[in-house]
Amino acid sequence: MGKEIKPRGVKKGETPQWKVGRKATGRKRDKSLTFKLTEDEKVFLINKLKLSKEKTNTDALLKLLGYEK
């Protein structure tokens, strides 16, 4: 047993130097917007978004509002 075995954990106050885990992908949409609706309003809005044939609800809502880059 000539090798000294180091503990795997990180000591208190130190930051881990591991380069593991899922990396950020540079998301473009990282802000959220929330508001309250009644159940009827929610169903109406979801149906309108589905009729739009866009890939995401965000894209559908922006199209309905007339947003252009």
- Residue 42 inside a domain? The answer is yes
- Residue 4 inside a domain? The answer is no
- Total domains in the chain come to 1
- Residue 11 inside a domain? The answer is no
Q: Can you give the pLDDT at residue 6?
A: 63
- Residue 16 inside a domain? The answer is no
Task: State the residue range of the domain holding 45.
Answer: 35-69
User: For residue 64, is it left (φ>0), alpha (ψ between -120 and 50) or beta?
Assistant: alpha
Task: Write the single-letter amino acid at 28.
Answer: K
- Residue 29 inside a domain? The answer is no
Closest CA to 52 of 65, 40, 42: 65
Q: How many CA atoms lie within 13 A of 55 on its CB side?
A: 0
What would the pLDDT profile of 19-54 be if each residue is shown by its tens digit? Answer: 677 777 777 888 899 999 999 999 999 999 999 989
- Residue 53 inside a domain? The answer is yes
What would the pLDDT profile of 2-19 be if each residue is shown by its tens digit? Answer: 676 666 777 788 777 766
Q: Can you give the pLDDT at residue 5?
A: 63
- Of 57 and 16, more confident: 57
Q: Can you give the pLDDT at residue 26?
A: 72
- Residue 45 inside a domain? The answer is yes
- Residue 18 inside a domain? The answer is no
